[in-house]
Amino acid sequence: MTDDSRRDGGASDVELVERCRSGDEAALDALVRRHHASAYRVALSITRRDDVAQDVVQDAFIKAFRALNGFRGDAAFRTWMMTITANEARATLRKHGRWRESAIDDVAPMAVDDPDPAEQAVARRESERARAMLETLPEKQRLSVSLRVDEGLSFREIGEMIGSSEGAARVNYFHGIRRLRELMQ
């Protein structure tokens, strides 16, 4: 699911992009449906605000489709899209400043009234606690962990996205994981 050759409804990303360039709106819808979730998670990881992240994703997709002719098939559409989203999210933060305190609660609400059986409820709360802790890490660590764990990206791809080398992406990821394990104890 991590490369542009994955198929969904019979068309690869490369085929959909090609159709999109010639004005096929169904192909546009398919590309948006396929990649908006990854883009949203990237935007959320950077901005830590749901409403801001949604705006960022929308603006990023508009810009990406305007620049579709600049997209080359040698990069996966998904990582290209995620990189545009990450840039857009950072630009938004620069423009409007950062939103800090309330953001963490918005992103990882703790289950208060969980209808699951006791054991599942405990596991669920632990997962949500891990997510909340992830939000407290510095941006590059947070993003590296999220891109690796949620999106399955390589360290080279993560490096491109956080504006670092492959090695720096690896270090950020492992520092983030180590810090999370300390926080979870």
Residue 12 or 58: the one with the smaller Cβ distance to other proteins is 58
Least distance (Å) from other proteins to the CB of residue 98? Answer: 18
6 binds other proteins (CB under 8 A): no
Least distance (Å) from other proteins to the CB of residue 20? Answer: 10
Looking at 14, 65, 164, 171, which residue binds other proteins (CB under 8 A)?
65
3-state secondary structure the chain: CCCCCCCECCECHHHHHHHHHCCCHHHHHHHHHHHHHHHHHHHHHHHCCHHHHHHHHHHHHHHHHHCHHHCCCCCCHHHHHHHHHHHHHHHHHHHHCCCCHHHHHHHCCCCCCCCCCHHHHHHHHHHHHHHHHHHCCCHHHHHHHHHHHCCCCCHHHHHHHHCCCHHHHHHHHHHHHHHHHHHHC
67 binds other proteins (CB under 8 A): yes
Tell which positions 68-127 bind other proteins, by CB under 8 A. 68-72, 75, 80, 83-84, 87-88, 91, 107-108, 123-124, 126-127
Least distance (Å) from other proteins to the CB of residue 150? Answer: 6
Residue 98 or 184: the one with the smaller Cβ distance to other proteins is 184
Least distance (Å) from other proteins to the CB of residue 181? Answer: 6
| Site map 135..154 versus other proteins, x via CB under 8 A | ----------x--xxx-x--
